C-alpha cells in the first residue's frame, strides 16, 4: 500500500472526497497517512482528525519538507492547496506530486487563478463550458502533464459560488479520487527513501502480505576488487566468489558466506561473522552472544560496520557493530513489512571516509510478487555500484529465490 500525504489550505472537500473514496474502495492502492495544512484554521484539519488521519500545520516549504521527510510518502496530493510550490521543493520531495485545479487547463489557470477567482474569471469571459483538471505538478504553476479532466456546462444564472459548487460536485470529487488511484497504481513503492548512491552492503528481513518470510542481501562496491565478485548458490546457502585472480590482494573481508541455513533459522551477514553466529548457535549460543565477541571491520579509515540478521520461525533480528557501539534490534513478523539495514549512510567523494549507517533499520514495504520486489531493489541500487543481489521468499522448507550478478562468472 502506497503512502499518500495530502496538502490542504481550506475547506478540504477534496480531501473528504479522497477519504470517502478510501472507505468505498475507489481509492485502494494508496492510503492517506498525513494531512499537512499551511493554514491553521483550515477546516480540512478537522476532517483529518475526524477520520483519524495525522495532521500537521506547516507554513513554509522548509516546514512542509520536514514533515514529509518524517513520514516519507510515496506520493503528495494537493487538495485545495493555495500556494505555488518551488522547483526546490518539488526536487527535494522526490516523489510524484499531483494537483486538482477547478478549470479546464490550459484555460483559467496559473498564477492568480485559485479557488473562487477561477470561477469569477470563467463567468466574466463568457465561456459556456468549464470543468476540473487533475495534473502532475512541476515548476510551472498548473503546467504539469494532465492526468484527468471533466467538463460541465456553465448555466446562464450561475454565480461564482454556484459554479464552484457544481464544478466540485460534478467534476472535482469525481475525477480526483480516480486519478489518485490511477497514479498510485503506476508507482512502485520505493525501498530506499531517496535515490541513493552508495549504501554499501545491505540486508532486508521480513514478511510478505501473504505471510511468507522474505530476505534479501545485496553488495555494492566502488573499488575494482570489491566489484570483482559474484554470488553463487551453494546448497541452501549463498557464497561469494572472486571473478579475477589477484595475488596481491587480501580477500578476507570480501569473501565469506553471506547466508547460511541452520535448522529453521537463516543467518545473513556482510562478513565472516556469519560463521561466528552459526558456530555459536550450533552449540547452544545466541545471535547476540556471538556478535558481542566481534566488532566492526578493520578497514581504516572507513571501519565498515558489520551488519547481521537472523530469521527465526517466530521473529527476525538485526544487528550493526560500528565504532559508535554494538546495536541489536528484534522484530515480530508483520505481513507486508520488512526492515532494511545497510553499512553506509551515504556516498562520499573519492578519498573521503564513508559514514556508517545511522538510526534504526528502516521499515520497507514487501509485496507478494518476489520478482517485482527483487527488480525494484536491483533497479534502486543503481547501475554504478551494484555488484550482486540475492532475494529469497520462503515458507518452511520450500523457497523461491532470485540472484543477480553484475559480473559474469
Binding site for ligand GAR (CB under 6 A): 8, 10-14, 44, 79-80, 100-102, 114-115, 118, 168, 172
Considering the complex, what minimum distance in angstroms separates the CB of residue 113 from ligand GAR?
A: 7
Cβ closest to ligand GAR, residue 172 vs residue 297: 172
Q: Which residues contact 167 (CB under 8 A, 6 or more apart)?
A: 102, 119, 130, 131, 132, 152
Q: Are 227 and 407 in contact (CB under 8 A)?
A: yes
Considering the complex, what minimum distance in angstroms separates the CB of residue 10 from ligand GAR?
A: 4
Cβ closest to ligand GAR, residue 33 vs residue 84: 84
**Which residue among the candidates 101, 119, 135, 316 is catalytic per the annotation?**
101
Considering the complex, what minimum distance in angstroms separates the CB of residue 137 from ligand GAR?
A: 10
State the Cα–Cα distance between residues 13 and 54, nearest whole angstrom. 17
Cβ closest to ligand GAR, residue 39 vs residue 243: 39
Considering the complex, what minimum distance in angstroms separates the CB of residue 370 from ligand GAR?
A: 40
Considering the complex, what minimum distance in angstroms separates the CB of residue 14 from ligand GAR?
A: 3
Q: Which residue has the cell 504553476?
A: 141
Cell triple for 362: 528502516
Residue nearest to ligand GAR (CB): 80
Residue 101 designated active-site: yes
Q: Are 384 and 366 in contact (CB under 8 A)?
A: no
State the Cα–Cα distance between residues 83 and 182, nearest whole angstrom. 25
Cβ closest to ligand GAR, residue 108 vs residue 373: 108
Q: Which residue has the cell 560496520?
A: 305
Three-state DSSP at 87 gives helix
Question: If you write DSSP's letter for every residue of 121-163 in order, what string do you get?
Answer: HHHHHT-SEEEEEEEE--SSTT-SPEEEEEEEEPPTT--HHHH
Cβ closest to ligand GAR, residue 46 vs residue 224: 46
State the Cα–Cα distance between residues 193 and 362, nearest whole angstrom. 9
Cell triple for 407: 559480473
| Longest Cα separation, the chain | 88
Q: Helices in 51-109 by DSSP H: which ranges?
A: 61-71, 87-93
Cis ω for the linkage preceding 6 (within 30 of 0): no
State the Cα–Cα distance between residues 264 and 396, nearest whole angstrom. 8
State the Cα–Cα distance between residues 372 and 169, nearest whole angstrom. 38
Considering the complex, what minimum distance in angstroms separates the CB of residue 176 from ligand GAR?
A: 8
Cβ closest to ligand GAR, residue 131 vs residue 305: 131
Q: Which residues are catalytic?
A: 101
Amino acid at each position: 500500500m502506497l503512502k499518500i500525504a495530502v496538502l490542504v489550505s481550506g475547506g478540504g472537500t477534496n480531501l473528504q472526497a479522497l477519504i470517502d473514496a478510501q472507505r468505498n474502495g475507489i481509492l485502494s492502492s494508496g492510503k492517506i497517512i498525513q494531512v499537512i495544512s499551511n493554514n491553521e484554521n483550515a477546516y480540512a484539519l478537522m476532517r483529518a482528525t475526524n477520520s483519524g488521519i495525522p495532521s500537521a500545520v506547516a507554513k513554509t516549504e522548509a516546514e512542509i519538507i520536514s514533515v514529509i521527510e518524517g513520514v516519507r510518502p510515496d506520493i503528495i496530493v494537493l487538495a485545495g492547496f493555495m500556494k505555488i510550490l518551488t522547483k526546490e521543493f518539488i526536487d527535494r520531495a522526490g516523489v510524484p506530486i499531483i494537483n486538482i485545479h477547478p478549470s479546464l487547463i490550459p484555460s483559467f489557470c496559473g498564477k492568480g487563478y485559485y479557488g473562487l477567482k477561477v470561477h469569477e474569471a470563467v463567468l466574466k469571459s463568457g465561456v459556456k463550458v468549464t470543468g476540473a483538471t487533475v495534473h502532475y505538478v512541476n515548476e510551472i504553476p498548473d503546467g504539469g502533464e494532465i492526468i484527468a479532466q471533466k467538463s460541465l456546462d456553465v448555466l446562464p444564472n450561475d454565480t461564482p459560488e454556484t459554479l464552484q459548487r457544481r464544478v466540485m460536485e460534478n467534476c472535482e470529487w469525481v475525477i480526483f479520487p480516480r486519478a489518485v488511484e490511477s497514479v498510485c497504481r503506476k508507482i512502485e513503492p520505493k525501498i530506499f527513501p531517496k535515490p541513493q548512491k552508495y549504501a554499501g552492503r545491505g540486508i532486508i528481513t521480513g514478511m510478505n502480505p501473504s505471510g511468507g518470510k522474505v530476505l534479501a542481501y545485496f553488495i555494492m562496491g566502488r573499488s575494482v576488487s570489491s566489484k570483482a565478485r559474484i554470488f553463487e548458490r551453494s546448497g541452501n546457502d549463498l557464497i561469494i566468489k572472486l571473478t579475477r585472480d589477484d595475488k596481491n590482494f587480501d580477500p578476507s573481508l570480501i569473501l565469506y558466506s553471506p547466508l547460511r541455513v541452520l535448522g529453521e533459522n537463516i543467518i545473513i551477514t556482510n562478513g565472516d561473522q556469519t560463521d561466528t553466529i552459526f558456530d555459536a548457535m550450533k552449540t547452544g549460543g545466541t545471535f547476540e552472544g556471538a556478535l558481542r565477541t566481534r566488532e566492526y571491520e578493520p578497514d581504516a579509515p572507513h571501519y565498515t560496520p558489520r551488519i547481521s540478521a537472523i530469521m527465526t520461525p517466530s521473529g527476525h533480528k538485526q544487528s550493526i557493530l560500528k565504532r559508535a557501539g554494538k546495536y541489536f534490534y528484534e522484530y515480530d513478523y508483520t505481513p507486508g513489512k520488512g526492515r532494511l539495514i545497510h553499512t553506509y549512510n551515504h556516498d562520499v567523494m573519492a578519498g573521503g571516509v564513508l559514514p556508517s549507517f545511522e538510526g534504526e533499520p528502516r521499515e520497507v514495504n514487501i509485496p507478494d510478487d518476489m520478482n517485482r520486489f527483487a527488480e525494484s531493489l536491483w533497479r534502486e541500487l543503481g547501475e554504478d555500484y551494484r555488484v550482486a543481489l540475492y532475494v529469497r521468499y520462503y515458507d518452511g522448507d520450500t523457497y523461491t529465490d532470485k540472484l543477480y550478478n553484475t559480473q559474469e562468472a
